[in-house]
Every structure is written in structure tokens, then in C-alpha cells.
Structure 1
Amino acid sequence: GPKQTMGRTLENVMVEIPMPKCVLNCSLVVTQGRYAFDPVKKNLLWDVGKIDPMKLPNIKGTINLQSGSQPPDSSLHISVKFQISQLSISGLKVNSL
């Protein structure tokens, strides 16, 4: 789960997974948020939203491949974007704008 957020919540969490060309479609179940698979760009986008540290989000399901395709590499790249309100990575603090 989220670590070292100084008690702040992760918000606007987006997970992006570029899929291999052999992926036809995805049938997934998410415990939070919603997902979309673009069959042309072969891109899975999961809009998680705000993460509750007591109930962490999960995604699982089936990925259908083209007939005769080998299973893809298990080393897919995943991009995660998120915001933590009033917290900066560098430790810089802003009192007012």
C-alpha cells in the first residue's frame, strides 16, 4: 500500500499499461475506479481515483490473445500517476499562493 505519505491520501491515481500487439481484449474486474482498454492502441488505462489505505484497489481478470500467439513477456512496463495534496517530493513547502 501507499507508504510515507505523511498521513495524506493518494488522489487522481491513474495506471497505464501498454499491452503487447497480440492482445485482443481484456475482461477485467476492478475493486475501485474504472478501466478502459483501447484495442487499436493496445493500451489499458485504469482510473483508480482516491486510494483508501484501509481498502487497497485491485485489478484482475482475463486478457485474450490472438490465436496462436505466445504468452507475452511478464515484464510489462506500468506507468502510475498520482497526486498528494499539499506535499512535494523535494520537501518544499508553500504556505500560501
Structure 2
Amino acid sequence: MKEVRDFYLLLHPRPAYVIGSGRWGERVNFMAASWVSPVGEEPPSLIVALGKESLTLELIEIYGEFTVNVIPISLVEELYYVGSRSGRDEGELLHD
């Protein structure tokens, strides 16, 4: 059991990110993510795990771009907000 606990501690805690997708004034979505990994230096590249049916992936495919935002602990409530709601249900709130 000690090996499992040690392995878990190797993976956690992880930095928190918000993946932004869409285009302001059109459709916008923000997704909480913790599994973001660098994969290359030149050009700078990273990988993010996205669900096949996610609004984030849909908007990235439509607009061809996204942002990766490192979230400080001072924004933990905002991170919780985007991580606990679906952009498909809450999307209109993001335009207010």
C-alpha cells in the first residue's frame, strides 16, 4: 500500500489551469484542467486531455485556437466555478 500512496503523492498536487476556447462576443467557454503536460520546446507545445463531446473541444475545432491559463491559489473559487459547471448550460452567463 505504501507504493500506491507514494505514487499518488508523485501525481498530486498538480498546478491548476483554465483552458479558454471560443471567441469573445461569439461563443466562449472555460474549462478547469490539471492534466496539462509539455511535449516540445521548439515550437513550444503541450498536451491537454479533453473529452470527445466537450464544448471546449468543439470550440477549438471551430476557431482553431485556445488559451492555457495558470491559475493562482487566489482564484480558487473561480477555478471551482468553471470546473463544476458545463459551458453548454452556463454559456450565456459568460457574456454578461
Question: Fold-level match, TM-score > 0.5?
Answer: no
- Select the structure with the greater relative contact order (CA < 8 A; seq sep ≥ 6): 1
Larger CA Rg, structure 1 vs 2: 1
TM-score (norm. length: structure 2): 0.31
TM-score (norm. length: structure 1): 0.31
Q: Which has the higher strand share?
A: 1
